[in-house]
Amino acid sequence: MSFVIDLKGYKMQQLINIMKLLRVECPWDRAQTPESLTRYAIEEAYEVEDAVRVGNTEDIKNELGDLLLQVVFQAQMHSEQNLFNFQDVVQAITEKLIRRHPHVFEKEKWQ
């Protein structure tokens, strides 16, 4: 499997491509399951909370990245099972935010 990685400016699709590559090339990443990673998602969420409480912007940024990795990793594993992919996750949260904020988003604006 071949992926082109542009190191000049990272983009979301590049992160997804890196995760796909790791699932093929890295034995540890390949061995993971959705169930085996749940503890890491919880751990990363607590690390975000701690970084926010401390107020270190660099740590907050890095911990949010670690939490995002857990979302991308879970989405990739579910994509491999043809259940859903990262774009489906983004679609679901976008629809939820619009649905939960009718006072902000008029239905006509988003169709």
Phi-psi sector, 88: left (phi>0), alpha (psi -120 to 50), beta: alpha
**Cβ(3)–Cβ(22) under 8 Å?**
no
Locus of tokens 């649905």: 99
- The yes-or-no verdict on residue 1 having pLDDT over 60 is no
Q: What is the pTM of this model?
A: 0.84
Q: In one letter, which amino acid is 2?
A: S
pLDDT digits (tens, 9 = 90+) for 66-102: 999 999 999 999 999 999 999 999 999 999 999 999 9
